[in-house]
Amino acid sequence: MIKKETRILGIDDSPFNKFKDKKVLLIGTIYRGGGFMDGLISTYVNVDGNDATEKIIEMVKKTKHRPQLQAIMLKGIAVGGFNVIDINELFKKTKLPVIIVMKEKPDFKKIEKALENLRDGKKKMEEIKKAGKIARIRHLYIQSVGISEGKISDLIKITCTHGKIPEPIRVAHLIASGIVLGESRGRA
């Protein structure tokens, strides 16, 4: 049984201009379940780069909230365009379960086509596939490591308090867009 106030780190990236911006802001919110934000952490990663996994590991290891964290939730497997997160490495280095949350099932053919434009697109596609099977849990599509589908279902139930997206990710999205655009916009 997962406690209602389990500490979860939700991470999302900020809006960016893929033709102009070299870096993108990542925001992490530390939440007690879906009801109370305990903290905020941030870092920058390269647009379409290869540093997201390492930057998130650093962010997690440096935070004073690390001892209380029970899981990491990410909105999608890539940030800043196609800076793909290696969820297996993230799990291994942080010892925290990692849950990728998606509203819709990804179209791998479309992703593969988009990755053709990147020098290391094939490698990035391998990383995406290496993240494992996509499961439908409640109303979301999930990829995960280090946690059972039953516990993910419990976490989704606890954290989806103000919408269909878990609160730690929803609020990270609002903060990231508010900082970069001057006002939050869009839905997580």
Domain boundaries, the chain: 7-181
Task: Provide the pLDDT confidence category of residue 117 given band limits of 50, 70 and 90.
Answer: confident
Give the chain's mean pLDDT. 95
Exposure pattern of 28-45 as b/e (b: 16+ CB <10 Å)? Answer: bbbbbbbeeeeeebbbeb
Is CATH 3.30.420.40 the right assignment for the domain spanning 7-181?
Answer: no
Q: Provide the pLDDT for residue 3.
A: 87
Instruction: Say what the pTM is.
Output: 0.95
Residues 101-127 have a mean pLDDT of 93
- Number of helical (H) and strand (E) elements in the chain, helices listed first: 6, 9
